[in-house]
Amino acid sequence: MNYNIAHFQGFPIYHSKTNYFLENKEKQYLSSLKYFTEEPSNNVRYITENSNIFQSSQLSNLKKLFNKHLKIYLEEVLQIKNQLKLTQSWITINKPNHKHRPHYHRNCFLSVVYYPQIKSGSLYFSSDRCMLQQGYDFVFDNIKDNMYNTFEMCFNPIPSSLLIFPGWIMHGTTKNESNVDRIMIGASYFLKGTLGKDENYNKLVL
């Protein structure tokens, strides 16, 4: 399976062009869902009232796709044996001329986002300090932007793009400048099982 890893301030961002496109039954299910509107600073965002859409059997193949890529991310990128549990799953829609404000996901270890429909806009990750400013808040004169001296990293998803990243990283999207709705399907995951050991006095059961 083809994928790329970019590092934002030391955190690995996973990006794959999956070539997975929604089947008719999936599209029909998504169109049947109810949405509510959020308008922070007039950046209109539509999000499903149902925050557990992967509980539907009609999205079983899409859920398997997420799990397949998460397995690669855990074992090949992070190289850890810990297991994950799905906590929530949802859909957001950015209408033309709107964007998704910067935010992060609380109570979330890993986030997965998949774009079944997108014609315009970038997904970006940002921080108030670059890596060089973590110890001392100096202002540097960059020769070329890189993972050490920048505050932001951008991706330009296409239809079928899937990204995985730590949920605590600040992220958002740029304005949808097309006349087509930008649709994103997202899911949050947390660790499960036993972490640590009794003899090390750090055992945690999730």
Rounded to whole angstroms, the Cα distance separating 98 from 109 reads 28
- pLDDT higher than 60, residue 202: yes
What pTM was estimated for this model as a whole?
0.91
pLDDT, the chain, mean: 92
pLDDT band at 137 (very low <50, low <70, confident <90, very high): confident
- pLDDT higher than 90, residue 44: no
Rounded to whole angstroms, the Cα distance separating 54 from 99 reads 24
| Host H or E run for residue 25 | helix 24-32
- Express each pLDDT in 138-178 by its tens digit: 888 899 888 788 889 999 999 999 999 999 999 999 999 99
Greater confidence (198 vs 147) lies with: 198
Rounded to whole angstroms, the Cα distance separating 167 from 104 reads 6
Greater confidence (126 vs 45) lies with: 126
For strand 11-17 and strand 110-117, is the pairing parallel, antiparallel, or unpaired?
unpaired
Domain architecture of the chain: domains with CATH: 4-193 (2.60.120.620)
Greater confidence (134 vs 39) lies with: 134
Rounded to whole angstroms, the Cα distance separating 114 from 172 reads 14
Q: Give the chain's count of helices (H) and strands (E).
A: 2, 13
- Work out the average pLDDT over 183-201: 93
Token duo for residue 15: 């990006």
- Express each pLDDT in 80-124 by its tens digit: 999 999 999 999 999 999 888 889 999 999 999 999 999 999 999
- pLDDT higher than 60, residue 15: yes
* Dihedral over alpha carbons 72, 75, 81, 87 (to 10 degrees): -30
- Express each pLDDT in 56-84 by its tens digit: 999 999 999 999 999 999 999 999 999 99
| Host H or E run for residue 59 | none
- pLDDT higher than 60, residue 41: no
